[in-house]
Amino acid sequence: MAKLAIIGGSGLDKLKNLEIERREVLQTPYGEPSGPLTHGRISGTQVVFLPRHGSGHTIPPHKVNYRANIWALHHIGIQDIIAVAAVGGITRGMAPATLAFPDQIIDYTWGRENTFFDDDDSAVTHIDFTYPYCIELRRKLIETTRREGITAIERGTYGATQGPRLETAAEIDRLERDGCDMVGMTGMPEAALAAEKGMCYASCAVVANWAAGRGEGDGHITMEEIEVHLKNAMTKVRGLLEAVIPAL
């Protein structure tokens, strides 16, 4: 039985190197997940793949059913999650097409269903979220990039914004003052929900563009630019997954 799941973000709604064995449709107490759970093998190792935004990228970040996704993966016995997510680069070094493994997160989202402990029968529960990403899983990802010669930023703070719009230049200035190195729209509550279920969760962030006001020229962000960088970076992601999964 698979113990590892990959949650795919923008640019990764399919895994080309996944040998598909079956698809599983689950209903959860929190509604439907983003799509069927795809069971298969990468480098001979069993994994489960779930596209966060649905097949064909139809679910915007503020409408992803994060609770259903995490509950479904936990229900089938998943212990480790590698979450691939597109981000905008804020600080120096976070250039487009770069991979990064954040070690901290700041949550700017609002109105999302962000906990499993919110029904009338639940005791008041506080999880330790000092280190939001699994230290051991991050270490293996970092060691693999070093071994395979894949350039990656080994730490950083992820700023999770509400979306679906991109940020203003002033908002990015604020995020940088707060200590954020990258900005994305899906990091929370996904990471916290995984922690509530006791799952080992790490993020592979893919820099798709410079954040607002950080690029060259007039600083405007185009979807064409994002798509080009994601396409280039996802080749690195697939190579990373093929190399790291057997070690897990």
Query: What are the binding residues for substrate?
Result: 185, 209-211
Q: Which two tokens stand for residue 95?
A: 């250039």
- 32 CB-near residues (< 8 Å, 6+ apart): 65, 68
Instruction: Please provide the size of the chain in residues.
Output: 248
Q: Which two tokens stand for residue 36?
A: 């069927």
Cα-to-chain-centroid distance, residue 142: 16
Binding-site positions read 10, 52-53, 185-186, 209-211
d(CA 75, CA 78): 7
Strand spans (E) along 161-228: 182-184, 200-210
Number of Cβ within 10 Å of residue 29's Cβ equals: 10
Query: Residue 47 and residue 151: Cα distance in Å, rounded?
Result: 25
Q: Which residues are annotated as a binding site for phosphate?
A: 10, 52-53, 186
The answer to whether 239 and 19 have CB atoms below 8 angstroms apart is no
- Buried/exposed 151-160: b ≥16 CB within 10 Å, e otherwise: ebbeebbbbb
